[in-house]
């Protein structure tokens, strides 16, 4: 049996779902869960301005996360309201006695960038921290212990570190697989309400003409960033300058985003994936 206890505190019962403090009673590590609208309230809470590692999450078209560190806790995150608009909620970790120092939060940021790169989350970080901080063996043991505790707390808040089932397992389970319309070479599968773009699917850089769309080039910028990130994270390998092949399955919250990624153009995902709309109507 491997049970654990978690304490929850709600600073404002009228906002219980959007602001909460949580902590393992045997640990000094304290977590703050908050939505954007609650950011100013978090700043007034005890310990929220200590040295911290934090996570900004989005669950819109696809699940994504930004991982950062701060020597002054929640205050640093306020700048992300101006710099980053993708996230809907954040989770901040500090210690009650402020025992995290600059080296601690630097290592924890590195650790979790590597950890999330192996999951289905899209990393919003520009710097993928491929080089580990210079930590001696004694400090590393302590910092890894901190990381394990934080991972448990994240999982307790519903953040999964498990990758989706590989394509071979999906096929063995005889799940429905939907092919992209011609001439695109890609396929998706449904899994637990998510849309899984399968390994060996070809993805495309956005078409040049999308730079001139009325959205001010937002589609082009967003799509190019996603295309590049998948290659840099080792989840896809380049075929040529505008095409790459996935080597891992990638999870999305809607069928349209993977359709756009595979075509380089705006798409109705329900129509792009052959048979998917028919399944929706049948289940509808």
Instruction: Compute CA 275 distance to the chain's CA centroid, rounded to the nearest angstrom.
Output: 29
Q: What are the tens digits of pLDDT across the range 87-111?
A: 899 999 999 999 999 999 999 999 9
Q: Tell me the residue length of the chain.
A: 284
81 vs 147, higher pLDDT: 147
What average pLDDT score do residues 13-20 get? 93
Contact between residue 65 and residue 115 where contact means Cβ atoms under 8 Å apart: no
At 284, the pLDDT band (50, 70, 90 cuts) reads low
- Residue 266 is predicted with a pLDDT of 94
Task: For residue 183, say if its preceding peptide bond is cis, omega within 30 degrees of 0.
Answer: yes
Nearest to 197 by CA among 127, 122, 89, 126: 122
SS3 content of the chain, % helix, strand, coil (to 5): 35, 25, 40
Please give the Cα distance from 60 to 213 (Å, whole number). 22
Cβ atoms of residues 125 and 66 within 8 Å: yes
* Percent of the chain residues past pLDDT 90, beyond the cut: 62
What integer pLDDT is reported at residue 29 of this predicted model?
96
Q: How far is the CA of 93 from the CAs of 54, 75, 215, in angstroms?
A: 6, 13, 37
pLDDT computed for residue 165 by the predictor: 52
């Amino acid at each position: 049996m491997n049970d654990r206890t978690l304490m929850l505190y709600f600073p404002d019962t009228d906002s219980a779902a959007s602001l909460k403090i949580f902590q393992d009673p045997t640990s000094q590590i304290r977590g703050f869960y908050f939505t954007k609208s609650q950011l100013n309230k978090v700043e007034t809470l005890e310990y929220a301005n200590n040295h911290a590692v934090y996570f900004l999450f989005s669950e819109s078209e696809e699940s994504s996360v930004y991982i950062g560190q701060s020597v002054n806790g929640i205050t640093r995150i306020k700048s992300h309201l101006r710099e980053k608009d993708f996230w809907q909620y954040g989770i901040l970790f500090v210690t009650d006695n402020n025992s995290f120092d600059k080296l601690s939060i630097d290592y924890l940021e590195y650790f979790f960038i590597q950890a999330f790169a192996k999951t289905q989350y899209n990393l919003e970080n520009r710097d993928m921290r491929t080089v580990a901080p210079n930590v001696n063996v004694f400090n590393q043991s302590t910092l890894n212990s901190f990381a394990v505790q934080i991972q448990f707390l994240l999982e307790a808040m519903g953040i999964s570190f498990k990758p989706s089932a590989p394509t071979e397992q999906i096929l063995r389970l005889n799940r429905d697989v939907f092919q992209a319309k011609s001439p695109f070479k890609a396929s998706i599968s449904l899994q637990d309400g998510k849309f899984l773009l399968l390994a060996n699917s070809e993805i495309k850089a956005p078409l040049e003409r999308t730079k001139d769309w009325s959205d001010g080039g937002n589609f082009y910028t967003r799509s190019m960033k996603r295309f590049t990130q998948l290659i840099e994270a080792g989840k896809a390998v380049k075929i040529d300058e505008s095409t790459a092949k996935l080597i891992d399955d990638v999870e999305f919250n809607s069928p349209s985003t993977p359709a756009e990624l595979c075509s380089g153009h705006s798409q109705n995902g329900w129509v792009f994936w052959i048979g998917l709309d028919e399944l929706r109507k049948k289940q509808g």
